[in-house]
Amino acid sequence: MIKTDILIIGAGPTGLFTVFEAGLLKLKCHLIDALPIPGGQCSEIYPKKPIYDIPAFPEILAGDLVDNLMKQIEPFQPGFTLGERAQTIEALEDGSFIVTTSKGTRHQAPVVAIAGGLGSFEPRKPLIASIEKFEGNGVEYIIRDPEFYRSKKVVISGGGDSALDWCIFLSDIAESVTLVHRRNEFRGALDSVEKAQELKNTGKIEIITPAEIVDLKGETNIEGVVIKRENIETTVACDHFIPLFGLSPKLGPIADWGLEIEKNAIKVDNTLDYQTNIPGIYAIGDVNTYPGKLKLILCGFHEATLMCQSAYKRIFPDKRYVMKYTTVGGVEGFDGTKKEAPKAVIKAIV
């Protein structure tokens, strides 16, 4: 049994920042995530995609944001259960909860914070009869490590930001990159569309539109794709086929925990602390919903901060908390030292 003060379901940016805010309150955190690495979508789906709405960062890559958050929470030594999905929850008589994962790992905490982003994701697969045969053998739905495609022939299908961005990024890594889209118009950012067109004009990538991939070729591993364009089918040789049609978010087992759900999101009370209809269980970040909700990372950070204040009062109902600004109190653990606070007026919160 893993015991902690706050059990966080989801190790994306909001979940990671929760560790920092809880750490300032001397609360220990443990995070559960179905993905094998921390960072959520930022690590798994678009680590090389720039983010523009993080305060003090005019632009930061999603992967770099995760790295910075991991460094920020390092002094608080959080625990991680990765590669396991939070499966069931049990409320105990003492007010705490036991959460068991898909692999049977049990966790106990007086507070559970669901920070699962948009939930678990399943790729939207193209309607190609043979596609499952090649999954893991040349067909990938998510690009985790761009170096995996170095000097390989890659075919990408899709018309959104992910398809365009990865097509551009892999143009300097792969032997060849072919982008196939069923329409002439792309849904991605104009800047990405223009960059892709420039790469096509210079011969660094090939763009085939309007067209669709109707079949895959190969024995064990994929060897080519069949592209249908204007009722004419041609085969293009490739080592990897990457259909990027987006991901379908699902709450997964959390939907069966007795929480109030609205349009695949968890309803919370945003007038105070983002608590759900079950006392002691909170939902923060993109997984929650309330009037005026905005699905932004910075909003998740704000929600995490208020949630931790409420969690402290739940865990220590008889204690009086004195809030110290980090500019005054410092943060223990950075550089291996304790930073002493200068004399200053401390704002108290009861």
* Poorest-pLDDT segment among 104-118, 219-233, 236-250: 236-250
pLDDT at 37: 87
Q: Residue 329: its pLDDT value, please?
A: 62
What does the pLDDT read at residue 8?
A: 98
Q: What's the rounded mean pLDDT across residues 243-247?
A: 84
Same domain assignment for residues 50 and 113: yes
Residue 185 has pLDDT above 70, yes or no: yes
Residues 107 and 154 in one domain: no
Residue 332, in any domain of the structure: no
What mean pLDDT is predicted for residues 199-228?
96
Mean pLDDT, residues 129-157: 92
pLDDT (mean) for 266-288: 95
- Phi, psi dihedral angles at 304 (to 5 degrees): -65, -40
Q: What length does the chain have?
A: 350
Alpha-carbon gap, residue 104 to 11, rounded angstroms: 19
Q: Are 123 and 142 in contact (CB under 8 A)?
A: yes
Reported as a pLDDT band with limits 50, 70 and 90, residue 269 is very high
Q: Binning pLDDT at 50, 70 and 90, where does residue 120 land? A: low
Which residue from 171, 126, 135 is spatially nearest to 152, judged by alpha carbons? 171
- The answer to whether residue 213 is domain-embedded is yes
193 vs 36, more confident: 193
Is 65 within the bounds of a domain? yes
Nearest to 113 by CA among 46, 20, 43, 45: 20
Specify if 333 maps to a domain. Answer: no
Flag whether pLDDT at 42 surpasses 60. Answer: yes
Considering its fold, how many domains does the chain have in total? 2
Can you read off the two tokens belonging to residue 162?
């992910």
Indicate whether 247 pLDDT > 80.
no
Tell me: do 129 and 93 sit in the same domain: no
Q: Is the whole model's pTM more than 0.85, yes or no?
A: no
How far is the CA of 126 from the CAs of 132, 193, 301, 311, in angstroms?
Answer: 10, 22, 35, 44
Task: Flag whether pLDDT at 328 surpasses 80.
Answer: no
Compute the mean pLDDT over every residue in the chain, rounded to the nearest whole number. Answer: 89
Of 19, 41, 31, nearest in space to 297 by CA: 41
Residues 6+ apart with CB under 8 A from 182: 159, 209, 210, 211, 212
The answer to whether 230 and 184 have CB atoms below 8 angstroms apart is no
pLDDT tens digit sequence for 154-168: 999 999 888 998 999
* Same domain as 292, residue 145: no
Residues 237 and 220 in one domain: yes
Q: Comparing 109-118, 120-129, 200-209, which segment has the lowest mean pLDDT?
A: 120-129
User: Residue 176, Cα to own-chain centre: how many angstroms?
Assistant: 29
pLDDT, position 53:
87
CATH number of the domain encompassing residue 194: 3.50.50.60
Distances, alpha carbon 17 to alpha carbons 51, 71, 86, 339, in Å: 16, 11, 19, 21
Lateral strand order in the sheet of 86-91: 2-3, 106-109, 97-101, 86-91
Residue 24 has pLDDT above 80, yes or no: yes
Q: What is the pLDDT of residue 134?
A: 95
Task: Specify whether 103 is located in the same domain as 41.
Answer: yes
Spatial neighbors of 349 by CB under 8 A, at least 6 apart, are 309, 321, 322, 323
227 and 265 in a single domain? The answer is no
Listed residues 228, 245, 262: the one ending a domain: 245
| pLDDT confidence of residue 348 | 34
With a CB cutoff of 8 Å and minimum separation 6, the contacts of 276 are: 114, 259, 260, 266, 267, 268, 282, 283
Q: Which domain holds residue 82?
A: 2-121+248-319
pLDDT in tens, 291-327: 999 999 999 999 999 999 999 999 999 887 666 666 6
Q: Do residue 10 and residue 102 come from a single domain?
A: yes
Domain assignment of residue 330, yes or no? no
